[in-house]
Amino acid sequence: MGRFIVDGGAHLKGEVKINGAKNAALAIIPATLLSKKPCVISNLPNISDVDLSFQILKTMGAKIEKQDEHSVMIDTSTVHKTEVPFELAMKMRASYYYLGALLARFKEANVAMPGGCNFGVRPINLHLKGFESLGANYEIDGGIIRLRTTNLTGAKIYFDVVSVGATINILLAATTADGVTIIENAAKEPHIVDLANFLNSIGANIIGAGTNIIKIKGVKELNSSDYTIIPDQIEAGSYMAMAAVTRGDVLIKDVTPKHLESIVNKMESIGLKIKKYDSSLHILSDGDLEKADVTSQAYPGFPTDMQPQITAVLTFAKGTSIVTEGIWDNRFQYVGELCRMGAAITVDGKVAVVEGGKILKAAPVEACDLRAGAALIVAALGAKGQTEIKNTRYIERGYEDIVGKLTALGASIKKV
């Protein structure tokens, strides 16, 4: 098991280049199944979740050729299987996007029930309700979701909870259904728009992505495409958090500022000076950090995937902050690790009270999931002493070359 060793106290200074968005990549890679023509996808991040999604496609018979460090050619014309192997599906929740993609292409799909994770039960009832509305039947047999249909037919689908995954899965399945599908109360995240743009680039007919009503007119034939995915707003936000606690002076490059508005707004309210350019942000953290109250919510609200990182920042801010988790039941598991470093945070259900102004001290800590791991790196960079962070594999799921990028910014971090 890999460990990061971080010596706190360095002021981050310089430039960092943001890679493509993990959650856009994890939706667009399965979406290439809808076309029998080769697609080139660029600006893909080199992270383990993307590698896993490539592995799933290859196991089903797809051809994937690296074009350069961040782009691949994917040809799914040779795909002949409709089953995602259990041992691969279990490694990543987002493997359930293969349900919608395989159903759209082959009218059947077999994917293992996604594992839960440590921030609470993660149901997929909305996904299954959506597939049934389109005319598919499902059964769960030995932990595998088996979807079948004779014909996918457009339908009006209302999600009573805003769900990124369910919106993505129904976007995929409805793309080749007969007739029109309307998704109401759809998720509006940037990666939903990116998926819709990719699908339209291969010939789909989708309008309204990014609003809460998406209309999909089914098409039968899909073509090839050369598509570049959006930058990762959560990776960008994570580096903003790292600059915040190290009195940093950092240019964060290759971002889409519009996708970062809620994060920029919150970081400015705690005292960061942020200059916005067309595709980059300059972050200056040259004074004491102020307390702030944060509630994570669906886009365009403050993203839940930045909740652990902002909580780590707030342990350094003066005063008491309240962090409310608006999406997941139990996304404060990492707080115990921050407290081991001297943070004073009490959690009651979906609310964490952060007593700021603490000088965190190094301690051996463990990452329990991807964004919790990022929060521990934030804390370690601002803490005194040498912190050891276990389970680097979680962090490597979503952050390309985090050691190289932080070292280039002047941090002292190494993997052992």
Q: What's the burial of 55, exposed, middle or buried (CB within 10 Å: 0-12/13-18/19+)?
A: middle
241 belongs to the binding site for ligand EPZ (CB under 6 A): no
296 belongs to the binding site for ligand EPZ (CB under 6 A): no
In the complex, what is the shortest distance from the CB of residue 89 to ligand EPZ, in angstroms, rounded to a whole number?
Answer: 13
Bridge-based pairing state of the strands 71-75 and 63-68: antiparallel
Residues making up the chain, counted from first to last:
416
All residues at 6 or more sequence positions from 274 whose CB lies less than 8 Å from its CB, including other chains: 240, 264, 267, 268, 281, 282, 283, 284
Is 368 a known active-site residue?
no
In the complex, what is the shortest distance from the CB of residue 103 to ligand EPZ, in angstroms, rounded to a whole number?
Answer: 16
Question: Footprint of ligand EPZ on residues 81-110 (CB under 6 A)?
Answer: 94
289 belongs to the binding site for ligand EPZ (CB under 6 A): no
Single residue of 370, 380, 403, 413 touching ligand EPZ by CB under 6 A: 370
Single residue of 32, 285, 304, 391 touching ligand EPZ by CB under 6 A: 304
Question: Quick one: 187 or 222, whose CB is closer to ligand EPZ?
Answer: 187
Q: Token pair for residue 214?
A: 């998406």
21 belongs to the binding site for ligand EPZ (CB under 6 A): no
161 belongs to the binding site for ligand EPZ (CB under 6 A): yes
Contact by Cβ (8 Å): 358, 342: yes
**# binding residues, ligand EPZ (CB under 6 A):** 22
125 belongs to the binding site for ligand EPZ (CB under 6 A): yes
327 belongs to the binding site for ligand EPZ (CB under 6 A): yes
164 belongs to the binding site for ligand EPZ (CB under 6 A): yes
Ramachandran region of residue 223, left (φ > 0), alpha (ψ -120 to 50) or beta?
Answer: beta
Question: Footprint of ligand EPZ on residues 328-367 (CB under 6 A)?
Answer: 328
219 belongs to the binding site for ligand EPZ (CB under 6 A): no
CA torsion, ordered 47, 49, 53, 54, to nearest 10 deg: 20
* Binding span for ligand EPZ by CB under 6 A among 158-166, 199-207, 235-243, 336-344: 158-166
d(CA 25, CA 278): 23
Strands (DSSP E) contained in 179-332 are 180-184, 205-207, 213-217, 225-228, 249-253, 273-276, 280-284, 294-296, 320-325
Q: Nearest CA to 138 among 184, 80, 99, 97?
A: 99
d(CA 111, CA 117): 17
Question: Quick one: 128 or 204, whose CB is closer to ligand EPZ?
Answer: 128
230 belongs to the binding site for ligand EPZ (CB under 6 A): no
Please list the active-site residues: 117
Q: Which residues bind ligand EPZ (CB under 6 A)?
A: 22-23, 26, 94, 122-127, 161, 163-166, 187, 304-305, 327-328, 370-371
